[in-house]
């Protein structure tokens, strides 16, 4: 995936929206103006401790000339979730769109939550490319591994987890694997589950899952479950693998034609006429551009927002993130594949669930 767009942003085509909280009590009125450089203190938290978050969503001009946002509630909820996790102030979701960014700006040395913050939103008519949370510190460490991928003529990293090399994401995208299930003989579209807290709850990811369950339910089974590299390579060897693709706001859907693993480049079926990715992309684009009426496409002028739209991915994320509020931990240990949790109140207990271990480690280990 080309990164050349970073140097191609023209200031004359950009607009910026800014607003700041007063001592994190309330937000000032938003100000929309032409893009200009931000002026912040050199001691701002964002520069020293990466206390910042961002979002990315698309706006489309439809065939009827109306401008639509795609499922903005999901992006707003995810940004609020990121803000809570990074100890930045919460905000009213409906005031944000396109590329909102929230940074800590208090000029103070010392790792603690910032008492000052700046929220700004970039508006641009060409998309700027947009883990569980959208936090800048999650992305910077991937630049080195990205250079390794490039040395193997690969566009992205395939992120693997644990001794079994469980597949999680590809680059900054969710991953989908379309194959024939060996046990059932049925076609199955697999994407990694959110249960371990390892996967970004992508808006396009959730949309593909719901579309598959609604429109393609008679053609294949939609599954959210773990899959590792051994299982993937077995499916490839046995010619059960149909296709693999990444999904995200920037690219929508990006087919994958090869995986370099353990020193070998494995060619993935790419020109298969059965490509489900093309059909899913076509359905999504019909929604994006207003070719079909759908609650996911929110018209800017009428703001036809379905407030009851399912955002269960973020409900799950809230549960994982704030486990400590219900069950406070003083120390966390792993023994013989189990987790021994020593609580601040009397007593202790063991958990056999590896997934719970991952959840606790991710969200509670850094508790002060």
Helix H or strand E segment including 233: helix 229-237
User: Model's pTM, two decimal places?
Assistant: 0.61
Q: Which of 49, 60, 11 is nearest to 249 (CA)?
A: 60
- Within 8 A by CB and 6+ apart from 330, the residues are 342, 343, 344
Task: Return the CA Rg of the chain.
Answer: 22
Q: Which of 3.20.10.10, 3.10.450.50, 3.40.50.720, 3.40.50.1820 is the CATH number of 156-289?
A: 3.20.10.10
Report the pLDDT value the prediction gives residue 188, as an integer from 0 to 100. 97
Between CA 137 and CA 368 the distance in angstroms is 19
Distance between CA 132 and CA 141 in Å, rounded?
A: 15
Ranges of each domain in the chain: 4-138, 156-289, 322-364
Our measurement of the distance from residue 265's CA atom to the centroid of its chain's CA atoms, rounded to an integer in Å, reads 27
Nearest one of 299, 302, 323, 354 to 163, comparing CA atoms? 354
| Domain 4-138 bears CATH identifier 3.30.470.10 | yes
Give, rounded to a whole angstrom, the gap between the first and last alpha carbons of the chain. Answer: 39
pLDDT value of residue 315: 60
Query: How confident is the model at residue 27, as a pLDDT?
Result: 62
Closest C-alpha among 55, 44, 38 to residue 117: 44
- pLDDT for 74 equals 74
Q: What is the pLDDT of residue 30?
A: 65
Residues contacting 361, CB < 8 A, separation 6+: 332
SS3 270: coil
CA–CA separation, 118 and 105 (whole Å)? 7
- Please give the pLDDT value at position 128: 32
Distance CA 43, CA 49 (A): 10
CA distances from 280 to 195, 227, 269, 275, 292 (A): 24, 22, 17, 9, 14
DSSP 162: T
Q: What is the DSSP letter of 44?
A: B
Average pLDDT of each block of 10 consecutive residues along the chain (368 residues)? 30 53 59 72 74 74 82 73 68 46 67 67 43 50 74 87 93 93 96 86 90 91 96 96 91 90 89 82 89 84 62 58 42 37 36 34 30
């Amino acid at each position: 995936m080309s990164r050349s767009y970073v140097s191609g942003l023209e200031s004359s085509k950009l607009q910026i929206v800014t607003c700041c909280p007063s001592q994190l009590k309330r937000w000032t009125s938003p100000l929309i103006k032409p893009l200009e450089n931000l002026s912040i203190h050199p001691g701002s938290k964002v520069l020293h401790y990466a206390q910042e978050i961002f979002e990315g969503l698309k706006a489309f001009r439809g065939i009827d000339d109306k401008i639509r946002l795609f499922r903005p509630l999901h992006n707003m909820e995810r940004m609020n979730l990121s803000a809570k996790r990074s100890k930045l102030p919460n905000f009213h979701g409906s005031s944000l769109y396109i590329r909102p960014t929230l940074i800590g700006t208090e000029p103070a040395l010392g790792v603690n939550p910032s008492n000052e913050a700046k929220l700004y939103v970039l508006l641009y008519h060409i998309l700027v490319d947009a883990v569980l949370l959208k936090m800048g510190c999650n992305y910077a460490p991937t630049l080195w591994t990205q250079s390794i991928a490039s040395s193997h003529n690969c566009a992205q990293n395939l992120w693997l987890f644990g001794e079994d090399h469980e597949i999680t994401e590809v680059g900054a995208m969710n991953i989908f694997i379309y194959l024939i299930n060996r046990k059932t003989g049925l076609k199955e579209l697999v994407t990694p589950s959110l249960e371990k807290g390892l996967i970004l709850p992508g808006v396009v990811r959730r949309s593909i899952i719901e579309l598959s369950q609604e429109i393609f339910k008679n053609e294949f089974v939609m599954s959210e479950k773990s899959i590792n590299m051994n299982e993937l390579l077995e499916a490839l060897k046995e010619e059960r693998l149909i296709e693999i693709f990444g999904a995200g706001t920037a690219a929508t859907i990006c087919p994958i034609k090869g995986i370099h693993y353990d020193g070998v480049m494995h060619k993935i079926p790419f020109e298969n006429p059965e490509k489900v990715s093309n059909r899913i992309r076509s359905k999504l684009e019909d929604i994006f551009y207003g070719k079909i009426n759908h609650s996911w496409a929110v018209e800017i002028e009428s703001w036809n927002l379905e407030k009851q739209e399912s955002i269960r991915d973020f409900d799950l994320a809230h549960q994982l993130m704030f486990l400590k509020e219900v069950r406070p931990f003083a120390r966390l240990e792993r023994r013989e594949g189990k987790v021994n949790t020593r609580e601040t109140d009397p007593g202790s207990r063991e958990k056999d669930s590896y997934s719970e271990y991952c959840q606790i480690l991710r969200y509670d280990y850094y508790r002060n």
